[in-house]
Chains A and B, each alone.
Chain A
Amino acid sequence: MTIQASAAGIGDSPTRPDGTPKVLGAFGYASDLTVPGMLHGATLRSPHPRALIKSIDVGPALAIPGVRAVLTAEDIPGTKYYGLIAQDCPVLALGEVRYHGEPVAIVAADDVAAARRAVAAIVVDYEVLTPVTDLRAALFDPDSPKVHAGGNVVRHQPVRRGRADDPDIRALADVVVTREYQVGMQDQAFLGPEAGLAVPAADGGVDLHVATQWLHADAEQIAPCLGLAPELVRMTLAGVGGAFGGREDLSMQIHAAMLALRTGLPVRMTYNRRESFFGHVHRHPAVMRYTHGARRDGTLVFVTAEILLDGGAYASTTEAVVGNAASLGVGPYEVEHLAIDAYGAYTNNPPCGAMRGFGAVQTCFAYESQMDALAAELGMHPLDIRARNAVKQGSVTPTGQVIDAPAPVAEMFAQLRAMPLPPDRAAGDLLPGGYGNTTHGEGVRRGVGYGVGIKNICYSEGFDDFSTARVTLSAADGEPAVTVHTAAAEVGQGLVTVQGQIARTELGVERVAVAQADTTVGSAGSSSASRQSYMTGGAVKAACEAVRERVFSLARERGFQVAEGSRLAGGKIVSASGEPLVDLALVLGADVVEETREYRHRPTGPLDRMTGQGSSHVQFAFAAHRAVVDVDVELGLVRVVRLDVVQDVGRIMNRQSLEGQIQGGTAQGLGLAVLEEIVVADGKVRNPSFTDYLIPTILDMPPMGMRILEYPDPAAPYGLRGAGEPPTLSSTPAIAAAVRDATGLALGRVPIRPEHIAVPAQNAARDG
């Protein structure tokens, strides 16, 4: 008899353990939490993007029946500022507001209505100032007001390689293309608004149940602001309704905790959709100027780029976003001579930070548009010029880092080319404008476009990035059972499933439970940077391996033969050839084997401040898209007909979850291409609602073809490659290229709006 590998292990797609409560409507999201006697919190936010606060009168608010506390910056018990990288963000505005929607005061009341009335009753005397809203002026105009005392440059990261400025080098290029590109401000638009519950504890501490991406980073920022010792801030993950980067920064956590500690009662805060648009950072809008030079055969000679990223009022993760934009700014291409300057700015626009793709999305739109512009100049196929310059294993990145793992970019293009194109438009097909019935098809043109991107996986630039897992094995009722406990945030991506799969594979046990994530176990790092399968997956694997060794020792102590090469499968210790040796339950008896392990990826280094040289990244991941669109060139309406994608993931851990990540990431890229933008005018957000900020509906999304490659990365657990972000990079430029193909327009800005297509078309018709 040979024992087979565990079902529902890695490579399978078992039903997700949180799936059943989610389909039944029984899953406890942060906004669903209630405890008896809890109060409801609400936030007063600044109506101005830049103003001095002359005075705040909370008296009228306190006079409202049911109001228990009204707090301002004066009431912050500890440190007044917090932040993920730089601690520059006040818990509540301190004498000055720097963006539209900045929290100024907080209220706790017996019910939501009283809390909202109290917020409206607070009287704030503002001296309104002219906001700093122009990105370029904020960075380079010496007369621009400073948003913070240290100036408006959060980070300038140059990258220099070769001699891009040398006229002799430039002369080698047969064709040179210079263009400017812009990317609008995208919102994560997770469906579950910010929410959480703070419960004051008898020991003077606070227990927080929140929807977040990184429990320990939250706690580390919260405790100093509350003036509490770190161990007095205990965090438990509440159900998370999507994240996409928007829950990296704190939102209501410190506010709810302040109100709970002040009133001695539990306080829940739940943002509505409008407040959510003000309650988290967004994707950095970008202005980028690129020059590409190439030989007649398409070989890139040099690239120069100036990348400006608007970080808004507070730093958030702008510093790291700039690092990504700089280091990944030419895309997955070999370029001998390059000069990149990436800047992150302070302005009085809404704060920007993490969103899926993190600094690699904006540049991908620009460099891919440049590749298309070169292809057009040279009369080449867009995939041919890309393949000619594509990186491969052994290539050197702009920062001098050698790509030492597989980078099958050229094969991805071949796969994309081999996927069938959709048939030509036929009678009865949905047209641009959809059920609006705006055309009979007379002005509709089809276009095809391509995009490919490069994304770093895990945290970069020398960050001490690790994850912790505790794995417990015991026997109950004669059957072995495993519990996996980490602090890793399940945000929807399916991490909770993958943790169980790894434990089943490593320990050969069917019964695996994944415990609620909380801070009673060590940090797992953030559910960000496509890193959790790699990092927490690696930690669970390491802890399982330690448990297995302990089990083998235990078995030997108890007189069982455990030969070299034995493993665990089917609830037994089995020999290398799969022969069962002894039941785990028999070995364990009443013993509990528990091991905790920290997992670290290989170290990374900083980028040189002047040259940007350094091996700053852990792993590189790639996805490529082909988009097919129909465009009504008279009305400017776009219908994406099909989106095909090829992605290399090293090793498929869970195909179903992986496909869901690729499809969902592709959809967010479509949103940025043709729909999504937070419109900011004079520093004010104009469309904070799902009526006016449009995310893709099921009618906006086309069918998606998909091919997944598995070229293992020897440095990564199971050879896997982080997968959540890459598809978000490349679908945007592919769609933009397809719209260009259909219209013949340059289209240097996303999202592409109807007027970007219709107005030039009408002008051309008039002038032509």
Chain B
Amino acid sequence: MKLSLTVNGADRSAQDVWPGTSLLTALREEFGLTGAKNACEQGECGSCTVYLDGDPVCSCLVAAAQAEGRQVRTVEGLGGPEAVQRAFLACGAVQCGFCTPGLVVAVHDLVHRIEDPDEATIREALAGNLCRCTGYEKIIEAVRCAAAELRAELSEHSAPPGLPEPSESSGPVRR
């Protein structure tokens, strides 16, 4: 089959794609984007997480054909190193790094949805991303660190002085 979609803002297409190809395989083999990883191909580990029309998905569980005509954004398309990627580096959340691209996308989604996620929210949001190296402690630190940096950016750019800040820890949706 022919496959046409938008990847990281660019129109991409491929000819003669086997109809059973997953989005993950298409990204890796057809478009040379190897950031998303092939660790389990069962949707258990989250290493292949990408945005599909703005929602994080396990690209191994999405047929490439389902992405026809849609917007895909991968770890390579985050324009980094951005806040989440910088936080992963600074907090030591990267060891072997095989889970990192998927986690970066999952955390990017989390901190752009929830301004100040508490620990329970972080753990629930990342329950679909396996990491074998870190025991997750430094990943949680990285999430907090990235969220704080984004809040600081936000308050620099928007908040006029004197307006009350939202206070609930798992509250406002940003986008």
Residues of A that sit less than 8 Å from B by CB? 13, 15-16, 18-20, 22-29, 31-32, 34, 113, 189-193, 239-244, 270, 272-273, 430, 435, 491-494, 656-657, 659-660, 663-668, 689-691, 695-699, 701, 703-704
Query: Given contacts A191-B45, A690-B42, are A18 and B97 in contact (CB under 8 A)?
Result: yes
- With most chain B CB atoms within 10 A of its CB, the pick from A18, A491, A698, A703 is A698
Contact A492 B97 (CB under 8 A): yes
- Report chain B residues within 8 Å CB of A696: 135
Instruction: Give chain B interface residues in 91-145, CB to chain A under 8 Å.
Output: 91-92, 94-101, 104, 119-120, 122-124, 126-140
Residue ID in chain A nearest B96 by CB atoms: A492
Distance between Cα atoms of A659 and B137 in the complex (Å): 9
Known contacts A273-B41, A699-B127, A23 near B98 by CB under 8 Å: no
Pairs across A and B, CB under 8 Å, 26 listed: A15-B89, A19-B94, A20-B89, A23-B80, A23-B81, A23-B88, A25-B74, A25-B104, A28-B34, A34-B32, A242-B98, A270-B38, A435-B124, A492-B133, A657-B92, A659-B137, A660-B133, A660-B138, A663-B137, A663-B138, A664-B133, A690-B39, A690-B130, A698-B122, A699-B123, A701-B136
Residues of chain A within 8 A of B35, CB atoms compared: 24-26
| Across-interface contacts of A270 in B (CB, < 8 A) | 38
Give the number of residues in B that approach A within 8 Å (Cβ atoms).
57
A370–B133 alpha-carbon span in the complex (Å): 30
Query: Which B residues touch A15, using CB under 8 A?
Result: 89-90
Which residues of chain B come closer than 8 Å to A242, judged between CB atoms? 95-96, 98, 132-133
Interchain CB contact under 8 A, B136 and A698 = yes
Q: Are A22 and B127 in contact (CB under 8 A)?
A: no
Residue B59 at the chain A interface, CB threshold 8 Å? no
Which B-chain residue is minimally distant from A494 (CB atoms)? B95
A704 in contact with B80 given A190-B96, A242-B98, A690-B40 (CB within 8 Å): no
How many A-B pairs with Cβ below 8 Å?
A: 170
Residue of A nearest to B99 (CB): A191
Check B97 against A241 for contact (C-beta < 8 Å).
yes
Verify B96–A667 contact, CB threshold 8 A: no
Asked if B39 and A192 sit within 8 Å, CB to CB, the answer is yes
Q: Which residue of A lies closest to B84 (CB)?
A: A23
A15-B90, A690-B45 as given contacts; A27 in contact with B97, CB under 8 Å? yes
Given A189-B132, A192-B98, are A31 and B42 also a contact pair (CB < 8 Å)?
no
Indicate if the CB atoms of B135 and A663 lie closer than 8 Å.
yes
Cross-interface CB contact of A698 among B40, B126, B133, cutoff 8 Å: B126
CA distance A18 to B130 in the complex (A): 20
B100:A22 contact, CB within 8 angstroms: yes
Q: What chain A residues lie within 8 Å of B80 (beta carbons)?
A: 23-24
Q: For A727, give the chain B residue with the smallest CB separation.
A: B135
B44 within 8 A of A: yes
Asked if residues A656 and B94 are in contact (CB atoms below 8 Å), the reply is no
- A16 touching B132, Cβ below 8 Å: no
In B132-175, which residues have CB < 8 Å from any A CB? 132-140
- The residues of B that contact A690 with a CB separation of less than 8 Å are 39-40, 42, 44-45, 130
A660 to B89, CA, bound (A): 13
Give the contacting residue for A24; candidates B85, B123, B124; CB below 8 A: B85
Q: Hey, what's the 0/1 contact readout for B13-38 against A, CB within 8 Å counting as 1? A: 00000100000000010001111111
Residue among B32, B96, B138 making CB contact with A192, cutoff 8 Å: B96
Contacts of A703 in B (CB 8 A): 119, 137
Apart from A23-B104, A192-B37, A698-B131, what 7 extra A-B contacts exist at CB < 8 Å? A22-B94, A23-B100, A25-B33, A29-B34, A242-B96, A665-B135, A668-B132
| Given the contacts A24-B85, A663-B135, A664-B134, A29 and B40 also touching, CB distance less than 8 Å | no
Asked if A191 and B120 sit within 8 Å, CB to CB, the answer is no
Q: Which 4 interchain pairs have the tightest Cβ spacing? A: A25-B35, A492-B96, A22-B97, A241-B98
Q: B75 on the interface (CB 8 Å rule)? A: yes
Cβ-neighbour of B135 out of A34, A699, A704 (below 8 A): A704
Is B47 touching A492 in the complex (CB atoms < 8 A)?
Answer: no
Contact at B94–A697, with CB atoms within 8 Å?
no
Shortest CB-to-CB span from B146 to chain A, Å, is: 11
A28 to B98, CA, bound (A): 10
Q: What separation, in Å, do the CA atoms of A105 and B92 have in the docked complex?
A: 42
Residues of A within 8 A of B95 (CB): 242, 492-494, 660, 664
B68 at interface by CB-CB < 8 Å: no
Query: Within the complex, which residue of A25, A241, A273 is in contact with B34, where a contact is CB–CB below 8 Å?
Result: A25
A191/B130 in contact, CB under 8 A: yes
